[in-house]
Chains A and B, each alone.
Chain A
Amino acid sequence: MLAWQVLASQGVLAKNFPGSIKTLQELAWWLSDPFFNNGPNDLGIGTNLLISLRRVLIGYGLAVIVAVPLGLLVGISRIAESSVNPFVQLLKPFSPLAWLPIGLFIFRDSEMTGIFVIFISSIWPTLINTAFGVTSINPDFLKVSRSLGASQFRTVVKVVLPAVMPNILAGMRISMGTTWLVIVAAEMLLGSGIGYFIWNEWNNLSLPNIFAAIIVIGVAGLLLDQLFGLLQKRFDYQE
């Protein structure tokens, strides 16, 4: 912080680059009343954050709901694996933002498009990690379950799912990180949310506000990540 302030005030970084004091002042101002609403181009930072969070949670939630069962299936069944894997390999490296025009064309709605982009970009890590987890289950667990006469379904729910839980959570954690990266970029084009806030402040040439937003995004991402850290600890059953 101090180095930032010194470098900025000496003009080393760039002309008119804001120092940390100025940024923190702006941040404090934004946080003093985070939820005001003066029309679509003048929303409080908290309101914008909530808009982004909402999109992230819906898109990400849908992604998890699809990815976990699909990942289990892909891990269990060779046929499912060979039919899903090519699509995964093909679609995974596709830039999340390239989905934006496709989403806009299909849905003709920025909210739905935002959710769609989050969904499509966050589904892969969870899907791949889940499937990988299934293939690396200790085969003795499955042998035990089979020898006890447990049904296929019971084995999946009571043995495979808990055994893969650490992998699922690791995948979900990576997915969550991805969504947070994608939402900011996507919202610059979508017209609301924290990403749009940054774009708007760029148009206002208000760099301190951009830095304030970066700090807010960083802290929110950190908190979400920590949440997964706690969950992972809960489901870490190292023998």
Chain B
Amino acid sequence: MTSSAQTSSPTNQLGRRFLDAQVRVEAVSKVFSSEPGLFASLRRLPRTGYVALRDASLNIEKNTFVSIIGPSGCGKSTLLNLIAGLDSPSAGQILVEGERVRGPGPDRGIIFQNYALMPWLTALGNVEYAVESACPELSRRQARERAREYLTLVGLERAMHRYPKQISGGMKQRVAIARALSIKPRILLMDEPFGALDALTRSYLQEGVLRIWEENRLTVVLITHSIEEALLLSDQIVLMSRGPAARIAEVINLPPLRPRQRSVVEQHPDFVSIKLRLEEHLLNETRAVEEHT
């Protein structure tokens, strides 16, 4: 595995600080092929497929908060699934800490939009399951202790013994955050984690994530389509073009203002100009999507 990391020597145009990038997406394409129908295979038509990503390259530095933003259907989630190892690229490769991604692993925690909590387990049970799976060397008691610790971190110490159906959407997502963090991943992958929540809960959770992240730095990749969310949380915003065959259009570095506050993001001239740029790009891309289909 290390040999493959060495052969693809880091000399291309994105070579800046290439060697110590924690996640390297190298010329990755993803094609979802549909099974050819009988007619197509009889006539030997070329196999068609949906090209979700084409030649996407990206480097993510250790302990940065990166948001990936783009119009809907642009392959943001596809990219995240590839980094997570839940799906494999059709071309190109993804390296995490120099090793090629071959499948999912507990070094990468994942948070889904729909929480994906197991309804037969309590909040505590869900986090415990994660700890026991990822760290089999821990005893039962240690696993439980760790689960409690992380539920306390997200402010759920009093709802630990409730089942998912008994708690609100925001609380469910906090359990999912605790679950993802409890396995002490080096990279946290979030797929539109606040997309299904109402506006107030969303801002509350955004600030919670901001606080936790600023206190315990780790690499975060956040998929979102909210510009405000990306500006509030990230160090870097990756802007994607519209699909099919989505590319990475631009990588924007945000001013290193930490700890960050919502009011600053709303008023700081740099943030305001970036926000306008993002809005324009997304609006153009969305217009193109809507008018061509």
B: residues with CB less than 8 A from A are 84-86, 103-106, 108-110, 112, 114, 116, 118-120, 129-130, 133-134, 163-165, 179, 183
Beyond A146-B104, A148-B130, 16 extra complex contacts between A and B, CB < 8 Å = A140-B112, A140-B114, A141-B118, A143-B86, A143-B112, A143-B116, A144-B118, A146-B86, A147-B108, A147-B109, A148-B183, A149-B134, A163-B120, A235-B120, A238-B119, A239-B165
Residues of A within 8 A of B109 (CB): 147
The answer to whether A149 touches B116, judged by C-beta atoms less than 8 angstroms apart, is: no
The answer to whether A159 touches B118, judged by C-beta atoms less than 8 angstroms apart, is: yes
Verify if A150 is at the interface (C-beta below 8 Å from B): yes
The answer to whether A141 touches B165, judged by C-beta atoms less than 8 angstroms apart, is: no
Verify if A145 is at the interface (C-beta below 8 Å from B): yes
Residues of A within 8 A of B179 (CB): 144
The answer to whether B165 touches A140, judged by C-beta atoms less than 8 angstroms apart, is: no
Residues of B within 8 A of A162 (CB): 118, 120
The answer to whether B120 touches A165, judged by C-beta atoms less than 8 angstroms apart, is: yes
Within 8 A of B (CB), among A187-239: 235, 237-239
Per-residue contact bits, chain A 147-167, to B (CB 8 Å; 1 contact, 0 not): 111100010001100110100
The one of B105, B112, B119, B120 in contact with A149, judged by C-beta atoms closer than 8 angstroms, is B105
Q: How many A residues touch B, CB cutoff 8 Å?
A: 21
A125 CB to nearest chain B CB (Å)? 23
Q: How many A-B residue pairs have CB under 8 A?
A: 62
A: residues with CB less than 8 A from B are 138, 140-141, 143-150, 154, 158-159, 162-163, 165, 235, 237-239
A140 CB to nearest chain B CB (Å)? 4
Bound complex: CA of A140 vs CA of B115, how far in Å?
9
Sort A-B residue pairs by CB-CB distance and give the 8 closest, nearest first.
A140-B116, A150-B133, A237-B119, A147-B104, A149-B106, A148-B133, A162-B120, A146-B104
The answer to whether B119 touches A145, judged by C-beta atoms less than 8 angstroms apart, is: no
Bound complex: CA of A148 vs CA of B183, how far in Å?
8
The 6 sampled A-B contact pairs (Cβ below 8 Å) are: A140-B114, A143-B116, A144-B118, A147-B109, A147-B110, A148-B130
The answer to whether B165 touches A147, judged by C-beta atoms less than 8 angstroms apart, is: no
Residues of A within 8 A of B85 (CB): 147
B13 CB to nearest chain A CB (Å)? 32
Bound complex: CA of A144 vs CA of B34, how far in Å?
26
The answer to whether B165 touches A143, judged by C-beta atoms less than 8 angstroms apart, is: no
Residues of B within 8 A of A165 (CB): 120
CB within 8 Å for A154 and B118 given contacts A143-B86, A147-B105, A148-B183: no
Residues of A within 8 A of B165 (CB): 237-239
The one of A141, A147, A237 in contact with B86, judged by C-beta atoms closer than 8 angstroms, is A147
A139 CB to nearest chain B CB (Å)? 9
Grouping DSSP codes into helix (H, G, I), strand (E, B) and loop, the A interface class, with mixed when no group exceeds half, is helix
CB within 8 Å for A237 and B163 given contacts A140-B116, A147-B109, A163-B118: yes
Residues of A within 8 A of B163 (CB): 237
Residues of B within 8 A of A154 (CB): 133
Bound complex: CA of A138 vs CA of B117, how far in Å?
10
The answer to whether B164 touches A239, judged by C-beta atoms less than 8 angstroms apart, is: yes
CB within 8 Å for A143 and B120 given contacts A148-B134, A239-B164: no
B206 CB to nearest chain A CB (Å)? 22
Bound complex: CA of A160 vs CA of B118, how far in Å?
10
Q: What residue in chain B is nearest A162 (Cβ atoms)?
A: B120
Residues of B within 8 A of A146 (CB): 86, 103-104
Q: What residue in chain A is nearest B126 (Cβ atoms)?
A: A144
Most buried by B among A140, A154, A159: A140
Bound complex: CA of A224 vs CA of B246, how far in Å?
58
Q: What residue in chain A is nearest B129 (Cβ atoms)?
A: A158
Residues of B within 8 A of A239 (CB): 119, 164-165
Bound complex: CA of A149 vs CA of B84, how far in Å?
12
The answer to whether B106 touches A144, judged by C-beta atoms less than 8 angstroms apart, is: no
A189 CB to nearest chain B CB (Å)? 44
Bound complex: CA of A87 vs CA of B165, how far in Å?
40
Most buried by B among A141, A144, A163: A144
Residues of A within 8 A of B118 (CB): 141, 144, 159, 162-163
Residues of B within 8 A of A147 (CB): 84-86, 104-106, 108-110
